[in-house]
């Protein structure tokens, strides 16, 4: 089996479409990446890995210092991606996708690099086509502006630390202001900013909502529920046919919030972090 690396987003988009039959929410990562590349081409020297197999079903993408995302790829395809990536990215942070695919990738990675893995989080992919009625929290949503950038960077940094997401602070400071300028962030105000949500709508017919965060002292008041519901209605009104988001399976609060809004679980993924091989110490004489 050969791994085909793509530089043309349209070719990658066509090659990943069979994955949608295994879960549209999971496949949306790849479709969204292709459309994002079309809207905002990578800068010179920026590494973006987009790959599909010559046979079987699967896709892989990896950017900057992030993990390889392989979705619901066949196990044999996942193994081929691991072999291909090991040739020039042995410091890969981890892998995200369906459990069977991730296990095949991680076991191959161990064989090739000596680096083992540990489970970071179990994820659930959700999809929505219609927003349910939910109780509206005090306050109102608004579009984030340049004046909110510092507050959003602090909030997103707190979200990254709380969720255990591997993301470089420098990358956050570089890309978040661009997303704010593009209009990707919404803030819920109740006398002051209390929560935020963002989205990626590069694809013509769907959008993915992420991240969503409420300040720790403001939780339990329905702010995130109201904000995501309002944002979901806005995106559907703008012509999006499907919306997607990801939750931590171990967080019953967020899963319940999105279920009330109308998001329905499609499939489960996992995120594995690669770790350095253990060092064996002799007892000595």
According to DSSP, the residues that pair with 157 across neighbouring strands are: none
What are the Cα distances from residue 261, in Å, to 23, 156, 243, 256?
20, 23, 12, 9
Contact at 8 Å (CB) between 199 and 210? Answer: yes
CB atoms within 10 A of CB 174: 10
Contact at 8 Å (CB) between 70 and 95? Answer: yes
pLDDT in tens, the chain (285 residues): 899 999 999 999 999 999 999 999 999 999 999 999 998 888 877 889 999 999 999 999 999 889 999 999 999 999 999 999 999 999 999 999 999 999 999 999 999 999 999 999 999 999 999 999 999 999 999 999 999 999 999 999 999 888 777 666 777 888 899 999 999 999 999 999 999 999 999 999 999 999 999 999 999 999 999 999 999 999 999 999 999 999 999 999 999 999 999 999 999 999 999 998 754 434 343
pTM of the model as a whole: 0.90
């Amino acid at each position: 089996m050969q791994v085909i690396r793509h530089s043309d987003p349209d070719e990658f988009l066509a090659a990943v479409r069979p994955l949608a039959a295994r879960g549209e929410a999971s496949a949306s990562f790849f479709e969204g990446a292709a459309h994002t590349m079309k809207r905002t081409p990578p800068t010179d020297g920026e590494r973006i890995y987009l790959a599909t197999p010559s046979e079987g079903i699967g896709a892989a993408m990896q950017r900057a210092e992030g993990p390889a995302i392989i979705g619901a790829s066949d196990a044999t395809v996942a193994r081929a991606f691991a072999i291909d990536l090991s040739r020039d990215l042995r410091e890969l942070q981890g892998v995200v996708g369906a459990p069977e695919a991730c296990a095949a990738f991680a076991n191959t990675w161990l064989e090739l690099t000596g680096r083992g893995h540990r489970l970071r989080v179990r994820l659930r992919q959700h999809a929505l086509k219609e927003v349910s009625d939910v109780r509206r929290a005090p306050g109102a949503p608004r579009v984030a502006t340049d004046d909110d950038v510092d507050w959003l960077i602090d909030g997103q940094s707190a979200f990254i630390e709380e969720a255990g997401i591997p993301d470089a602070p420098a990358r956050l400071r570089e890309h978040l202001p661009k997303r704010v300028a593009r209009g990707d962030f919404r803030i819920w105000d109740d006398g002051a900013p209390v929560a935020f949500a963002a989205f990626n709508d590069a694809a013509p017919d769907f959008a993915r909502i992420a991240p969503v965060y409420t300040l720790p002292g403001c939780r339990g008041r329905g702010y995130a529920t109201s904000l995501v519901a309002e944002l979901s209605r806005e995106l559907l009104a703008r012509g999006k046919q499907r919306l997607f988001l990801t939750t931590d399976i171990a967080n019953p609060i967020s899963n319940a919030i999105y279920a009330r809004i109308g998001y329905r679980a499609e499939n489960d993924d996992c995120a594995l972090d690669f770790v350095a091989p253990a060092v064996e110490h002799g007892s000595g004489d």
